[in-house]
Structure 1
Amino acid sequence: MKNLKLFITVLGVFLLTACATRLTKPQGPALPPKVPFDAFQKVVLYPITINPEFADSSPNIDAQTKMNEYLVSLLRVTFSDKEYVIADEDYVVSASDKRTLVLSPRIKEIKYINTAARIFAGAMAGGTAVLMDVKFEDATNDVVLSQPEFYADASAWSGWGADNKVLNRVIEDINHYTKLNR
């Protein structure tokens, strides 16, 4: 009887704990670029890349795809007054008479809990977190204007939908930074 109580107690503690998600957080606020983005006539957006260390997880790849689609749609509106090019990995920025801003977003670290994992493992699956950076580059002068980092997370106990909201929040922060520095 004593062993059964101990077993139930240990099982209860195990079920109430969650895997901690710990990613590197940015060291400070995103600094403004060297040149305002309104100085450019053309914007080239490369697809979001992912650190190979985190690319072996299919939920992380799914998150990368969702984030890329959302970023493309938000920046299309943000740069509606400019020539906007959605590039693929092989796209080469050519010499042009238009001053060109190149955006290269990258997922540095990610832990994404998809819906299936959340349903079956609940809080034990841990939380979702994303750390990204975006290189804003003046292609005309081959100068990096800024490379800010963006971070968002949600604890394992944040509730349904919080995992996808983390992905959206990081992309919205990137879009906000872009609007703020026009």
Structure 2
Amino acid sequence: MKSTLKKFFIPTLFVSISLLFSACATHIKISNTMNPPPGEAFSNFTAFAMKPVTLASRYANNDTNEKALVKIQENLSLVMEPTITNWNHIGATKGGTQRTLVITPVVSEIKFIGGAARFWVGPAAGSSAVIMRVTITEKETGKTIATPEFYSSAGAWSGSWTIGGTDNAMLGRIATRVTDYLIKNYASPVGGPTGSQ
């Protein structure tokens, strides 16, 4: 009897553990660790516009993703709204031809585990990850100045221990990586990290 139970229990245990760890994995990743410098410094422009963050169509119309999007937007706006206002003020004092820099951020891939899922399912809900691609163009000519991408993630186990705290922190990190890149490339084109290390 014990031998039969052992034969049943041990394979079942291994299958359960492997399923748990496969659930923890996410296939959302990027390979590049650095974004190349933009075509020119953003300070060469005289006007600036940053569009609201959008979700790639296959991730839209999902309540969890939409809530994540709101948080990302809040974090971006906190830094970029005053920054864009200041850049536009500086640009207005310049002479010559107006050049407008348009910044278009898109969440191209996301897997976000909310607090409720973390509470009830824990690490079995898997890890969280997000990729944001930002297209930066000159409005007057349509010329692409830069197309940086940014990555952030939160582990399944750390998300479970914090009941979603690290998942939410991931949304702040992705916004910070975008704002750091934009601000650092204002004075001169230097590029910046993607966050994939």
User: How does the TM-score come out when normalised to structure 1?
Assistant: 0.82
Q: Does 1:141 pair with 2:132?
A: no
- Equivalents in 2 of 1:51, 1:4: separation in Å? 49
Aligned to 2:81: 76
User: Which structure has the larger Rg?
Assistant: 2
Unpaired stretches in structure 2, ≥5 consecutive residues? 90-96, 187-197
Aligned to 1:36: 41
Choose between structure 1 and 2: higher helix proportion.
Answer: 2
Q: Does 1:54 pair with 2:56?
A: no
Q: CA deviation at 1:14?
A: 2.9
Whether the 8 Å CA contact 1:133–1:147 is kept in 2: the answer is yes
- 1:79-118 matched pairs, under 5 angstroms: 79-83=84-88, 98-118=98-118
- Equivalents in 1 of 2:11, 2:183: separation in Å? 53
Aligned to 1:14: 16
- Which letter maps to 1:179? I
- Equivalents in 1 of 2:84, 2:42: separation in Å? 10
Q: CA deviation at 1:56?
A: 4.0
- Equivalents in 1 of 2:114, 2:11: separation in Å? 29
Q: 1:180 aligns with which of 164, 181, 184?
A: 184
Q: CA deviation at 1:116?
A: 0.5
Q: Does 1:171 pair with 2:183?
A: no
Whether the 8 Å CA contact 2:49–2:84 is kept in 1: the answer is no
Q: CA deviation at 1:60?
A: 1.0
- Equivalents in 2 of 1:15, 1:116: separation in Å? 23
* Secondary structure in structure 2 of the residue aligned to 1:82: helix
Whether the 8 Å CA contact 1:78–1:175 is kept in 2: the answer is no
Q: CA deviation at 1:7?
A: 4.8
Paired residue total = 170
Please identify, of 46-55 and 23-32, the stretch whose mean Cα deviation from structure 2 is larger: 23-32
Whether the 8 Å CA contact 2:113–2:125 is kept in 1: the answer is yes
Please identify, of 14-23 and 4-13, the stretch whose mean Cα deviation from structure 2 is larger: 4-13
* Secondary structure in structure 1 of the residue aligned to 2:140: coil
Q: Once the two structures are superposed, what CA deviation does each residue of 1:147-167 show, in whole Å capped at 9, x if it has no partner?
A: 011001111012411101111
1:9–1:116 distance in 2 versus 1, CA, 3 Å: farther
* Secondary structure in structure 2 of the residue aligned to 1:145: strand
Whether the 8 Å CA contact 2:46–2:98 is kept in 1: the answer is yes
Share of identical aligned residues, percent?
34
Q: Once the two structures are superposed, what CA deviation does each residue of 1:10-55 show, in whole Å capped at 9, x if it has no partner?
A: 3697378241111131434111111211122321111111111122
Aligned to 2:124: 124
- Equivalents in 2 of 1:162, 1:149: separation in Å? 21
1:26–1:131 distance in 2 versus 1, CA, 3 Å: farther
- Which letter maps to 2:173? R
